[in-house]
């Protein structure tokens, strides 16, 4: 019996350094846009690094905590949410995948942790900008 596909959401890391802002400004990037993944085993910071692409544009990376536990069977990766806060662009993905129960629990916990970590970062950035306009 095959397990039904699972779904989780996570933010894209490093959008400020890559093509995310240009794609957003040109209105190419929309919720539900299909995304693709490319492994980068030669990355000096993360041997499990996974690039996230929209067409030919690099948007950023899968957060390191998730890339180390990436599921073997990915059904779909798409853009879930776009939010712009000043110069900060928040892109959140939706991943549909198949995995064992232990993989599902581990990925769900890690994705939740990473999302809250990024939300805290965003809140701190907003607080800093209010204090120093």
Q: Which residues, 6+ apart, have CB-to-CB distance to 126 below 8 Å?
A: 85, 86
What does the pLDDT average to over 86-100? 84
Domain assignment present for residue 3? The answer is no
* Residue partners of 35: CB distance under 8 A and separation at least 6: 52, 53, 54, 59, 77, 78, 79, 93
Residue range of the domain that includes 98: 8-131
User: Is residue 114 a part of any domain in this protein?
Assistant: yes
Query: Does the residue 1 lie in any domain?
Result: no
Do residues 106 and 55 make contact, with C-beta atoms less than 8 angstroms apart? no
Number of domains present in the structure of the chain = 1
The answer to the question of residue 108 being in a domain is yes
Q: What is the model's pLDDT at position 3?
A: 63
Could you tell me the CATH number of the domain that includes residue 12? 3.30.70
Residue 62, CA distances (Å) to 26, 37, 47, 86, 118 in order: 23, 9, 12, 23, 13
For the stretch 38-87, pLDDT in tens is 999 999 988 999 999 999 999 999 998 888 888 878 888 999 999 887 77
Q: What pLDDT does 1 receive?
A: 42
Q: Is the pLDDT of residue 8 over 70?
A: yes
Which residues have a Cβ under 8 Å from the Cβ of 109 and sit 6 or more positions away? none
pLDDT tens-digit series, residues 107-129: 888 888 888 888 888 788 777 76
Does 80 fall in a domain? yes
Long-range contacts, 102-109 (Cβ 8 Å, 24+): 103/69, 103/71, 104/6, 106/69, 107/6, 107/8, 107/66, 107/69, 107/71, 108/6, 108/8
Q: Which residue would you say has higher pLDDT here, 50 or 98?
A: 50
């Amino acid at each position: 019996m095959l397990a039904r596909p699972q779904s989780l959401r996570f933010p894209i890391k490093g959008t400020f350094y890559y093509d995310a802002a240009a794609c957003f400004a040109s209105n190419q990037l929309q919720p539900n846009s299909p995304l693709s993944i490319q492994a980068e085993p030669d990355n000096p910071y993360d041997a499990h690094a996974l690039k996230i692409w929209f067409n030919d544009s690099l948007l950023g990376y899968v957060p390191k905590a998730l890339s180390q536990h990436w599921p073997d069977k990915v059904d779909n990766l798409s853009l879930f949410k776009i939010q712009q806060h000043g110069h900060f662009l928040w892109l959140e993905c939706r991943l549909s995948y198949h995995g064992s129960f232990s993989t599902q629990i581990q990925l769900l916990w890690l994705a939740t942790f990473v999302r809250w970590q990024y939300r805290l970062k965003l809140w701190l950035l907003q607080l800093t900008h209010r204090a120093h306009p």
